[in-house]
Chain A
Amino acid sequence: MSERTFRIWRGNPQDGGDFVEYTIDVQTGMVVLDCIHEIQKQHAPDLACRWNCKAGKCGSCSMEINGKPALSCMTRMNTFEEGETITVQPLKTFPVIRDLTNDVSWNYQQNKRIRPFAPRPRDPDGEHRMMQEDVDRVQEFRKCIECFLCQDMCHILRDRETQQNFAGPRFMVRLASLDMHPLDTDDRIQEVRDESGSGLCNITRCCTEACPEHINITDNAIIPLKERVVDRFYDPLMWLMRKLKPGNSREKTTVE
């Protein structure tokens, strides 16, 4: 057990805010979220924060801990130096509601803009058949817990002006999961370029580093999609082939 000091951002956009210091006793094995709950119990019952599963599965408790976007339920206290003050604040990319909560509704709007899954018909016996090796990659993308840490980390989204033109890493992953889904029949490449702004990503890989589910966002989702866009719109040979065989333009991005 040791005494630890936290600096937590308190306030809201209407009244402004500032960091407030709290000191609590920390027990073996505690994570930052446990400490926030202790602070609520002992010092500040109205301290606003989101959480649910406390096991890294729901992606609710995203915040910035010592300046780094992280899930507070998976950030162990023994990863900090002894005596180090821990600074906790809301995500910087999205508007603050109060204390540690952000308005993340923009992300839900992006999701809704993506056209829904459009499966091919079932086999005559009523089954859908897909091989495990053909769905491995899609399953990697579907591990996403929508914590939006990648969105918080993405410098295109941090800049409010460019934010309007790029759906962000989370939704590139979602588009990739649809595009590489063996059953999906929709052609999403134009959407990837025009609606979601794939060209804006300049592959700094910050999103991949931030992902608590260790999804290889940049290499496995964004780059293959960018390549598909290039093949479709900027490769003269492909362009000619489409002109010659217009009815056969649908091609899936395959998994290597």
Chain B
Amino acid sequence: MNIRRLVLDVDKAISRPTILEVGEAIEGVAGVEGFNITVTEIDIETVGMNLTVEGEKIEYEALVEAIEQTGAVVHSIDQLVAGAKTVERVKRER
């Protein structure tokens, strides 16, 4: 499957790893052309982040492995875009 975009729910402890360390790990994954890490929640000891990764033939397993090797945790896949072309989400209207 040609994964073009992944939106992941990623959490990490407050003190470490730093967001830069997580970013460096993501950058090294095959297929990743660009990414965005946005902090969505800061708790007393944890930071919740929304991670959007775009590219061509992104290796999901390698991506999760790289993120988790830094000490951050992937909780869920919130969006997956794959195939020969990028298909944006269409809101249903009734």
Q: Do A and B come from one complex?
A: no
B contact residues vs A (CB 8 Å cutoff): none
